[in-house]
C-alpha cells in the first residue's frame, strides 16, 4: 500500500523536535551562493555527522542542494542506528530552510523511500526528483543523484545490496586501521578509496558512470551536471559538459560550492589540520 506524505510528516517533525543543535554560525563565516552535498548516509556508523555540522555552521549559503543518500534506509532496515548527532544534522538542515536558505532534497537509492513524496515540502525543504541550478554566471547545471545511471542498481539490485554490505564491512575495518594509525601518529588513510583506485574494474565503472551522466546532461541541453552516488569527488570537462561530483560525508568530507561570482570549487572539510588543533580548516581545490 502506498503511504501518503501526511504519514511521513509526523516522523519528520519528531526528528526535528529533538534536542536543538547549536544554531550560532561561526564568527566571520564564509558565505557561498550555493552548496551541493550528498551521500551523508545518516543512520550508519560511518556517517561523519559532527564534521558536517562543523562545515554547515562555518558556511551559510543562499542555496543548499541535498543530492541524495542523505538518510541510509538500506542500513536502517537492517539495524536501527540514530545517535543525537544525526538528529542534529536534520535539525540544522531544517533551520537553514527556516532562515531563508532554499533547501532542495533530491532522493537517492539509499533514501528512495522519499521518492514517494516528490513535489512535497517538509519544514521548508523541497523534495524533487531532480533540479536545475543556474549559476551566477549563467550556466545551467542539472542536479541529480546519479543512481539511474548505475547498471548494477537498475539491473541487479541484489548485487547492489551485497556491495553495500561489503562496503560497510570495509568502512568498519577502515575505522580500526585508522585508530591504530592514529596511535602511531600517522594520518587518516582510506582503505576503500585505495581499493577503488587500484581495482581496474572499479576504475572502468567510475569512468563509464561519469561519461553517461555527462552525456545525459548534454542531451537535456544543460551546461553541466552535479551528482553524487559513487563517493568520488570530481570536477572536469567531459566532451564539452562540466561534470561535478560532490563526493560524500563518509570518507572524503567533500562538497561542491558556488561562489558569489559563479565560480565552482570542490572543498574538503578537515578539522585535523596540524597547527590548528580543534579549529576546522577548509582545503580548497580550484577548478
pTM of the model: 0.77
pLDDT at 24 over 70: no
pLDDT at 130 over 90: yes
The predicted model gives 267-284 an average pLDDT of: 58
pLDDT at 161 over 70: no
C-alpha cell at 73: 534506509
Please name which of 173, 41, 61 lies closest in space to residue 109, comparing C-alpha atoms.
Answer: 41
* pLDDT tens digit sequence for 211-256: 999 999 999 999 999 999 999 999 999 999 999 999 999 988 999 9
What is the number of other CB atoms lying within 10 angstroms of the CB of residue 123? 17
Band the pLDDT of 177: cuts 50, 70, 90.
low
Instruction: Name the pairing type of β-strands 102-105 and 61-66.
Output: parallel
Supply the pLDDT for residue 253.
93
* pLDDT tens digit sequence for 86-117: 999 999 999 999 999 999 999 999 999 999 99
Q: Which domains does the chain have, with CATH numbers?
A: 9-20+31-286 (3.60.21.10)
Supply the pLDDT for residue 192.
61
Amino acid at each position: 500500500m502506498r503511504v501518503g506524505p501526511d504519514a511521513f510528516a509526523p516522523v519528520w517533525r519528531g526528528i526535528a523536535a529533538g534536542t536543538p543543535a547549536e544554531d550560532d554560525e561561526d564568527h566571520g563565516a564564509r558565505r557561498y551562493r550555493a552548496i551541493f552535498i550528498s551521500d551523508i548516509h545518516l543512520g550508519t556508523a560511518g556517517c561523519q555527522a559532527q564534521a558536517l555540522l562543523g562545515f554547515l555552521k562555518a558556511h551559510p549559503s543562499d542555496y543548499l542542494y541535498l543530492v541524495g543518500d542523505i538518510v541510509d534506509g538500506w542500513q536502517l532496515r537492517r539495524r536501527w542506528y540514530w545517535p543525537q548527532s544525526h538528529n542534529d544534522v536534520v535539525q540544522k538542515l531544517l533551520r537553514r530552510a527556516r532562515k531563508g536558505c532554499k533547501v532542495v532534497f533530491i532522493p537517492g537509492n539509499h533514501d528512495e523511500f522519499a521518492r514517494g513524496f516528490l513535489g512535497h515540502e517538509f519544514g521548508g525543504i523541497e523534495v524533487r526528483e531532480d533540479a536545475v541550478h543556474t549559476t551566477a554566471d549563467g550556466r545551467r547545471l542539472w542536479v541529480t543523484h546519479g543512481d539511474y545511471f548505475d547498471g548494477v542498481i537498475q539491473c541487479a539490485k541484489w548485487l547492489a545490496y551485497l556491495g553495500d554490505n561489503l562496503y560497510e564491512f570495509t568502512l568498519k575495518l577502515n575505522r580500526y586501521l585508522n585508530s591504530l594509525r592514529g596511535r602511531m601518529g600517522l594520518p587518516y588513510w582510506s582503505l576503500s578509496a585505495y581499493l577503488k583506485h587500484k581495482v581496474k574494474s572499479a576504475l572502468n565503472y567510475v569512468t563509464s558512470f561519469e561519461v553517461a551522466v555527462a552525456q545525459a546532461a548534454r542531451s537535456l541541453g544543460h551546461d553541466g551536471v552535479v551528482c553524487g552516488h559513487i563517493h568520488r569527488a570530481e570536477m572536469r570537462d567531459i566532451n564539452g559538459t562540466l561534470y561535478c561530483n560532490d563526493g560524500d560525508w563518509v570518507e572524503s568530507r567533500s562538497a561542491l560550492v558556488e561562489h558569489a561570482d559563479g565560480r565552482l570549487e570542490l572543498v574538503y572539510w578537515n578539522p585535523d589540520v596540524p597547527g590548528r588543533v580543534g579549529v576546522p580548516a577548509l582545503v580548497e581545490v580550484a577548478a
